[in-house]
């Protein structure tokens, strides 16, 4: 039986997962489930001509090598190959276990598939005189997934059909992304707009984007953050106090920021790093949940930030005056893959401790390790070793984690010397109000004289994580704009967009305007929509159209409706009340 939490394949009679300990419900294994997944649909271009050039035995060997390479790449990123259809491959990211970054995993896998295919083609050209060229479509959406316990992983839904249509519309060698996938990966991928796809059975053309490349993986707290810093002053002072103690005592300290996704860990770390830029040297590493050779990946990022792409000569120079420095340099280079002589975990931990102490001798050192809930046990052992045995040098280990860390390493939460644990909780009503007032479009609404509406809005969506709050409190969606309305009208739109924010399973639910309401607004000069997908977009007062970056934050169409007017009577123009009476809005959940 496959665990729905971690994807581990357990014995059929097992009651709990052997890997994560989650309860295995036999009924869940046989039930159909609805989930948001990312579909990768890849097909070979010109397969008929390829078959004509090769005899069946040679063709079988060629395609077998192709399938084996593509399947290995997809599974390395956590994808499940659902089926082979002739020479096409259908893979699903989100089955059996759903991950928050399934779309990014799928795009990275598709890009690496292209690189792997180039290597395979070199061998095929030499042995058979042929090359394989593929077309790929990637789309994200809701599907119904069958029984994973009996290996019937059939995913059914419109998202699968759209992925197939994108693949058919792609040129040989191209990867096309659907709209939902693009919105999820726009910060991690380099894309360019492609012509809309005229898909059969669709009322409107399907928007498509062409994958060009991948952006460097940047930690969340190092990216541009528009939201203000609200409600975390006490936590910031606590971590800053740990740093001051480290500098004063010339010792190593550990500070761990713990909280669920979107609670503000990255925002707090960003504020701390910004405040320490003049007082310390800050290096950053990040753990990944997938891939090969990821045990020391965060420390590899740190070493390359210090010593460059070829770190061994620089490391040897840094550690030249340190006892057994050349040996430490070789052990570090072997651990990060720059040398084919890895040492034992104990030797590697010792080598990194010597490096950190050397760097901190001239200036306090802050080592940020993001997402350590995905860290390998060997890396956690190394960090604990550095904390326990480092001396004579001011080193602060700043770790960001989710509560899942304590399931894998319960001792991490145990009290110990020079260790600080900061647990973040949702914002209060007053803090939510401050966040709403001072968010990214504060130049438009900050001067609004609607304090009662602000308090009402913040109280309805609080307690809530800052990420959820800022994603859900955006102006009313609109397609065209004849002119940007004055501040009072902007506030009316914001109040209307968020008037139905309600608690739903720890998050928020929002009733968005219906298409009939928006068409009426178009006639009155407010907004217009031409397709259901545009109802899921949000308008930025700066003039840029932006969209939610996760399926859970998007306004999705569903059969469930709300009888609440999309615009409250107090904020909508008087002439609109008649047409809005009895209209229904589509509800989005997070």
pLDDT, tens only, 417-472: 999 999 988 877 777 777 776 664 443 444 444 444 444 444 444 455 565 555 54
* pLDDT band at residue 479 under the 50/70/90 scheme: very low
Whether 147 has a pLDDT exceeding 80, the answer reads no
Helix (H) or strand (E) holding 211: strand 206-214
Do 63 and 190 lie in one domain? The reply is yes
| Tokens read off for 300 | 């590899």
In sequence order, the β-bridge partners of residue 284 are: 368
Average pLDDT over residues 316-320: 91
Average pLDDT over residues 49-67: 90
CATH number of the domain at 183, please: 3.30.70.1230
- CB contact burial 4-41 (16+ within 10 A = b; e otherwise): bbebbebeeeeeebeeeeeebeeeebeeeeebbbbbbb
**Last residue of one domain, picked from the residues 174, 197, 214:** 214
Give the separation between CA 137 and CA 209, rounded to whole angstroms: 10
In a 3-state reduction of DSSP, which class is residue 254?
A: strand
pLDDT at 494: 40
Q: What's the CA dihedral at 26, 31, 33, 38 to 10 degrees?
A: 80
Q: How many CB atoms lie within 10 A of CB 168?
A: 15
Do 116 and 150 lie in one domain? The reply is yes
From 10-19, 214-223, 472-481, the region with the lowest mean pLDDT: 472-481
Whether 145 has a pLDDT exceeding 70, the answer reads yes
Strands 133-145 and 545-547: unpaired
pLDDT at 227: 66
pLDDT at 418: 92
From 40-49, 131-140, 518-527, the region with the lowest mean pLDDT: 518-527
From 164-173, 354-363, 446-455, 572-581, the region with the lowest mean pLDDT: 572-581
Whether 576 has a pLDDT exceeding 50, the answer reads no
| Tokens read off for 201 | 């059975």
Do 224 and 207 lie in one domain? The reply is no
Do 77 and 200 lie in one domain? The reply is yes
Give the separation between CA 305 and CA 45, rounded to whole angstroms: 41
Do 41 and 189 lie in one domain? The reply is yes
Residue pair 538/475 in contact (Cβ under 8 Å)? The answer is yes
Give the separation between CA 530 and CA 472, rounded to whole angstroms: 22
**Last residue of one domain, picked from the residues 186, 214, 242:** 214
* pLDDT band at residue 564 under the 50/70/90 scheme: very low
Whether 101 has a pLDDT exceeding 70, the answer reads yes
Average pLDDT over residues 248-260: 94
| Tokens read off for 375 | 């860290």
What percent of the chain has pLDDT above 70?
68
| Tokens read off for 295 | 């045990």
**Alpha-helix runs per DSSP H in 55-138:** 56-76, 102-127
Q: Locate tokens 């934050």: which residue?
A: 553
CA atoms within 13 A on the CB side of 333: 21
- For residue 193, give Cα distances in angstroms to 176, 178, 211: 9, 11, 9
- For residue 554, give Cα distances in angstroms to 20, 181, 435, 546: 30, 12, 20, 11
* 231 or 65, which is more confident: 65
Whether 73 has a pLDDT exceeding 50, the answer reads yes
| Tokens read off for 433 | 């109000």
Q: Can you give 525-558 as a three-state secondary structure string?
A: CCCCCCCHHHHHEEECCCCCEEECCCHHHCCCCC
Do 66 and 52 lie in one domain? The reply is yes
Do 275 and 397 lie in one domain? The reply is yes
**Last residue of one domain, picked from the residues 395, 422, 449:** 422
Strands 155-156 and 502-504: unpaired
Helix (H) or strand (E) holding 35: strand 33-45
Q: How many CB atoms lie within 10 A of CB 158?
A: 13
Per the confidence metrics, is the pTM higher than 0.85? no
In a 3-state reduction of DSSP, which class is residue 330?
A: helix
Whether 30 has a pLDDT exceeding 60, the answer reads no
pLDDT at 427: 77
* pLDDT band at residue 291 under the 50/70/90 scheme: confident
Residue pair 130/50 in contact (Cβ under 8 Å)? The answer is yes
**Alpha-helix runs per DSSP H in 336-465:** 345-360, 377-389, 404-408, 429-437, 442-445, 451-460
Residues 275-288 have pLDDT tens digits of 898 899 999 999 98
Average pLDDT over residues 370-386: 94
Whether 364 has a pLDDT exceeding 80, the answer reads yes
| Residues with Cβ within 8 Å of residue 130, at least 6 apart in sequence | 50, 53, 54, 62, 124
Counting the structural domains of the chain, the total is: 4
Whether 516 has a pLDDT exceeding 90, the answer reads no
Do 12 and 69 lie in one domain? The reply is no
Do 2 and 98 lie in one domain? The reply is no
| Tokens read off for 66 | 């192709």
pLDDT at 468: 54
Do 394 and 455 lie in one domain? The reply is no
Do 512 and 584 lie in one domain? The reply is yes
For the chain, the average pLDDT equals 75
Whether 130 has a pLDDT exceeding 60, the answer reads yes
Q: Locate tokens 């593929």: which residue?
A: 134
pLDDT at 254: 96
Domain containing 304: what range? 220-422
In sequence order, the β-bridge partners of residue 84 are: 89
- CB contact burial 325-349 (16+ within 10 A = b; e otherwise): bebbbbbbbbbbebbeebbebebbb
Do 250 and 172 lie in one domain? The reply is no
| Tokens read off for 288 | 């990944």
| Tokens read off for 328 | 């430490």
In sequence order, the β-bridge partners of residue 80 are: 92
From 65-74, 415-424, 524-533, the region with the lowest mean pLDDT: 524-533
CATH number of the domain at 294, please: 3.40.50.300
* 162 or 543, which is more confident: 162
* pLDDT band at residue 399 under the 50/70/90 scheme: very high
Whether 509 has a pLDDT exceeding 60, the answer reads no
């Amino acid at each position: 039986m496959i665990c729905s939490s971690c994807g581990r394949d357990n014995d059929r009679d097992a009651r709990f997962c052997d890997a994560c300990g989650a309860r295995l419900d036999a009924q869940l294994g046989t039930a159909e489930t609805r989930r948001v997944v990312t579909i990768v649909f890849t097909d070979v271009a010109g397969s008929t001509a390829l078959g004509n050039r090769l005899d069946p035995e040679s063709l079988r060997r060629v395609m077998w090598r192709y399938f084996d390479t593509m399947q290995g790449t997809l599974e390395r990123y956590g994808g499940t190959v659902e089926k082979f259809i002739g020479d096409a491959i259908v893979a699903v990211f989100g089955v059996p276990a759903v991950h928050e970054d399934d779309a990014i995993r799928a795009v990275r896998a598709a890009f690496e598939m292209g690189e792997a295919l180039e290597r395979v083609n070199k061998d095929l050209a030499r042995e058979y005189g042929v090359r394989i060229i593929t077309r790929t479509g990637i789309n994200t959406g809701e599907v119904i997934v069958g029984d994973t316990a009996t290996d019937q992983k059939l995913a059914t839904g419109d998202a699968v059909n759209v992925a197939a249509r994108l693949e058919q519309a792609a040129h040989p060698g191209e990867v096309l992304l659907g709209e939902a996938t693009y919105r999820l990966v726009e910060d991690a991928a380099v894309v360019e707009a492609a012509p809309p796809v005229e898909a059969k059975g669709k009322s409107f053309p399907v928007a498509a984007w062409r994958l060009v490349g991948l952006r460097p993986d940047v930690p969340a707290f190092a990216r541009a953050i528009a939201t203000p810093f609200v409600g975390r002053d006490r936590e910031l002072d606590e971590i800053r106090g740990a740093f001051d103690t480290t500098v004063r005592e010339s010792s190593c300290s550990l500070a761990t920021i713990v909280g669920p996704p979107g609670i503000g860990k990255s925002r707090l770390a960003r504020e701390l790093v910004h405040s320490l830029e003049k007082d310390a040297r800050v290096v950053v590493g990040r753990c990944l949940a997938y891939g090969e050779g990821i045990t020391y990946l965060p420390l590899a990022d740190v070493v390359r930030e210090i010593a460059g792409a070829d770190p061994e000569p620089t490391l040897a120079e840094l550690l030249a005056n340190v006892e057994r420095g050349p040996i430490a340099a070789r052990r570090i280079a072997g651990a990060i893959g720059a040398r084919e002589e890895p040492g034992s975990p104990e030797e590697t931990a010792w080598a990194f401790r010597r490096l950190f102490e050397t760097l901190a001798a001239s200036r306090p050192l802050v080592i940020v390790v993001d997402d350590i809930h995905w860290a390998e046990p060997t890396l956690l052992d190394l960090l604990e070793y550095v904390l326990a045995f480092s001396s004579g040098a001011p080193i602060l280990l700043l770790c960001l984690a989710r509560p899942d860390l304590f399931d894998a390493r319960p001792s991490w939460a145990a009290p110990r010397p020079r260790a600080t644990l900061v647990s973040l909780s949702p914002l209060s009503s007053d803090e939510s109000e401050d966040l709403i007032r001072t968010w990214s479009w504060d130049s438009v609404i900050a001067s609004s004289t609607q304090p009662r509406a602000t308090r009402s809005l913040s109280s309805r969506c609080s307690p809530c994580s800052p990420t959820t709050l800022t994603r859900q409190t955006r102006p009313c969606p609109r397609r065209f704009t004849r002119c940007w309305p004055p501040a009072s009208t902007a506030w009316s739109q914001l109040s209307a967009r968020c008037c139905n924010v309600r608690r739903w399973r720890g998050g928020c639910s929002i009733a968005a305007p219906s298409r009939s309401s928006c068409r009426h607004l178009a006639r009155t000069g407010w907004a217009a929509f031409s397709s259901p997908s545009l109802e899921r977009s949000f308008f930025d007062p700066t003039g840029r159209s932006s969209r939610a970056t996760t399926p859970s934050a998007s306004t999705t169409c569903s059969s469930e409706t709300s009888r609440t007017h999309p615009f409250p009577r107090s904020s909508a123009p008087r002439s609109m009340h008649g047409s809005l009476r009895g209209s229904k809005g589509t509800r989005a959940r997070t």
